[in-house]
Amino acid sequence: MRNLTLTAAFCALALLVSAPLVRADEDAGVYEKLMADKAASVVSVKFVLNVKVMRDGAALMPPQEQSGAATGVVVDSSGLVMIPGAAFGVGNLGIPRRMRAQLTIQAVPSNIRVVFPGDTKEYEAVLGAKDSKLGLAFVLIRDLGDKKIAALDTASGAEPKIGQTLYAVSRLDQGFDHAPMVMRAKVAGKVSKPRDMWIVQGAGGAMGQPLFDIAGAVAGIMVSQEGVGEDSEARPFLLPLKVAAATIKNSLSKSKDELDRVLEEEEEAAAEDAEDGDKGDADKGDGDKKDAPKKDDGDK
């Protein structure tokens, strides 16, 4: 009887020891599949911020240029990329938070480029839309050429459940070869104000990116949401897919309009430059005529 008791105890201990290993193997399979299926749509976005700081209309410092980068996800095959809006923020200027209310800070991104995994080319893009309430920004690639790209599937998704494990697929920065990685998070609760959103633990590094369930379905988009009231600070939440999909669709339309506007302005500027060049050549020709030596009537 004593031997049976010891045997049962050893079996129970073996199960306890082996359980984490089984879970680790399960996680490894999930991680590998998510990385293989989702990493192609995760890209890097480079840009330059043109920053002006003013108070009462007067500049407090010379204009500054700051290089920046962010991880984004392709949300439409036309080349629309979603990134966290904070990427275009000015948090690293060293200006105390209490002083910012007294200042006018302009941060305008330029020289926006999208880098795809395994592609050395940098694709030029324009800032198409921003949603300050959700802390999201959208850039649209100017010309993809013949390149085919993978985009996030927002047509169908999964409804999160409290206690559920979700996953994010992100990338490291350029210094680490933009290596893809998978992060795990837990749905910890739900809020209804200022909108229905899920409280998630462990996904703070996935702002502006989707979270997936174990089957790879999109559960929502991580956003930065301010609460109700002036003193409420922004916190990360998981935005339901149906709301995020509507935001993406609206931003795509705005981004295409913005790209058309930019291209039209560039065409007009090029036409004006060409016209000015033609006028300059004409003036130069007239000058040559004026400078030509006069005939000497004495030669007659």
Give per-residue pLDDT as tens, 75-120. Answer: 999 999 999 998 887 654 566 666 766 777 788 899 999 999 889 8
State both tokens at 51.
């920053």
Report whether the peptide linkage leading into residue 96 is cis, meaning its omega lies within 30 degrees of zero.
Answer: no
Q: Quick check: 86 and 69 in contact, CB under 8 A?
A: no
229 pLDDT exceeds 80?
no
Q: What average pLDDT score do residues 198-211 get? A: 90
226 pLDDT exceeds 60?
yes
C-alpha to C-alpha distance for 259 and 265, rounded to whole angstroms: 10
Q: Give the pLDDT band of residue 129 (cuts 50, 70, 90).
A: very high
State both tokens at 221.
């988009």
Supply the pLDDT for residue 205: 81
C-alpha to C-alpha distance for 272 and 288, rounded to whole angstroms: 24
Q: Per residue, what are the HEC states of the chain?
A: CHHHHHHHHHHHHHHHHHHHHHHHHHHHHHHHHHHHHHHHHEEEEEEEEEEEEEECCEECCCCEEEEEEEEEEEEECCCEEEEEHHHHCCHHHCCCHHHHCCCEEEEEEEEEEEECCCCCCEEEEEEEEEECCCCEEEEEECCCCCCCCCCCCCCCECCCCCCCEEEEEEECCHHHCCCEEEEEEEEEEEECCCCCEEEEECCHHHCCCEEECCCCCEEEEEEEECCCCCCCCCEEEEEEHHHHHHHHHHHHHHHHHHHHHHHHHHHHHHHHHHHHHHHHHHHHHHHHHHHCCCCCHHHC
Supply the pLDDT for residue 281: 63
179 pLDDT exceeds 90?
yes
Supply the pLDDT for residue 8: 47
Report the range of poorest mean pLDDT among 24-33, 37-46, 123-132, 235-244.
24-33
Q: Quick check: 84 and 206 in contact, CB under 8 A?
A: no
Would you give the distance in Å from CA 193 to the centre of its chain?
25
For the chain, list the domains and their CATH numbers: 38-249 (2.40.10.120)
Q: Quick check: 183 and 191 in contact, CB under 8 A?
A: no
